[in-house]
């Protein structure tokens, strides 16, 4: 009964074979592909820890069946940047020391990336609203907002 699913993950074509097509995409990323950056928070699409970009849209992956992502292009936090070549968002989060435990940060980076793609110069209120689907329990909100503002400014400079 095994089924095969093709998609692109962080720019690379990927094929996975699974017994159950209802397997959540998050489990495929973490347990089949070993991409641990996308975190499990609730399994209920409530907290945003598990967000990835699917065809450019920020989506919660914890309850999304793998079949629904077949043929699509998925970007996870590992696809944003590397320590040697960080994405401006990652650099801004480092600059602002934006985080405490860090468990929510992967999802927040994904939400922020999607926001800046749509709106390169968001106000702080617009950033906050865009991040309302991501829960931060440690209280690093204001640092995170500052970091996204900073990254937006940097990215406007790079791509005027």
Partner 1 sequence: MNALPGPLNDNPRLDLWVSFAETGKVVVNTGRVELGQGVLTAMAQIASDELDVDMASVMVRSGVTDNMPNEGYTAGSQSIQMGGQAMAQACADVRALFLEQAAKAIGCNANELTVRGGKFLRNGALSGQDYWTLNGAVDLAVNATGRGQRKAIGERAHIGRNDARTDLPGKLFGEPVFIHDMRLAGMKHARVVRQPNKDATIGAIDEAAIRRAAKGDIAFVRSGDFLAIVGDDEPAVERAGAAAVNHVTWTNVEMPTPLQQEANWLVQRPVIDCLLGSPEPSDAQGRERFEATYSRGYLAHASISPSCGLAEYRDGHLTVWTHCQGVFPLRGALARMLKLDAKAITVHHVQGSGCYGHNGADDATADAAVIAMQMPGTPIRIRWRREEEFVHEPKSPAMLVKVRALLDADGKPSDWTAEIWSGNHNGRPGGGNALLAGYALPDQEPFPQANDVPEAAGGGATRNADPLYDIADKRIIHHMVTETPVRVSALRGLGAMPNVFALECAIDELAGRAGVDPVAYRLSITSDPRARAVIEKVAVMSNWQANASGGAGRGRGIAFSRYKNRAAYAAIIVDLEVDEEIRLHRIWCATDGGLIVNPDGAINQLEGGVIQSASWVLKEQVRLDGGTASFDWETYPVLKFSEVPMIDIVLINPTNSDVPLGVGEATAGPTAAAIGNAVSHALGIRLRDLPLTRERIMAALLQE
Q: Which residues bind partner 1 (CB under 8 A)?
A: 19-20, 22-24, 27, 30-31, 34-44, 46-47, 49, 76-78, 80-83, 86, 90, 93-94, 97, 99-106, 109, 125, 127-129, 131-132, 134-145
In this complex, which beta carbon is closest to partner 1, that of residue 67 or of residue 103? 103
Q: Which residue has the tokens 């079949």?
A: 67
Cβ at position 71, least distance to partner 1 in Å:
21
The residue among 31 and 57 lying less far from partner 1, judged by its C-beta, is 31
Q: Please say whether the beta carbons of 134 and 47 come within 8 A.
A: yes
Q: Closest separation between CB of residue 111 and partner 1, Å?
A: 10
Give min distance, CB of 150 to partner 1, in A.
Answer: 14
Locus of tokens 């094929």: 15
Phi-psi region of 71 (alpha: psi -120 to 50; beta: other; left: phi over 0): left
Closest CA to 124 of 99, 98, 152: 152
Write down the least CB distance from residue 6 to partner 1, Å: 20
Q: Which of 94, 95, 135, 87 is nearest to 113 (CA)?
A: 87
């Amino acid at each position: 009964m095994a089924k095969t699913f093709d998609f692109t993950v962080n720019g690379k074509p990927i094929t996975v074979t699974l017994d159950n097509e209802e397997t959540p995409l998050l489990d495929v990323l973490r347990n089949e592909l070993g991409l641990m950056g996308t975190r499990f928070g609730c399994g209920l699409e409530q907290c945003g820890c598990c967000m990835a970009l699917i065809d450019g849209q920020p989506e919660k992956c914890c309850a999304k069946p793998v079949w629904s992502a077949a043929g699509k292009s998925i970007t996870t936090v590992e696809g944003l940047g590397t320590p040697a070549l960080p994405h401006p968002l990652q650099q801004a989060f480092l600059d602002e020391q934006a985080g405490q435990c860090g468990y929510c940060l992967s999802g927040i980076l994904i939400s922020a990336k999607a926001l800046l793609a749509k709106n390169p110069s968001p106000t702080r209120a617009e950033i906050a609203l865009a991040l309302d689907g991501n829960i931060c329990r440690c209280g690093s909100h204001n640092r995170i907002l500052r970091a996204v503002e900073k990254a937006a400014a940097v990215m406007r400079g790079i791509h005027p």
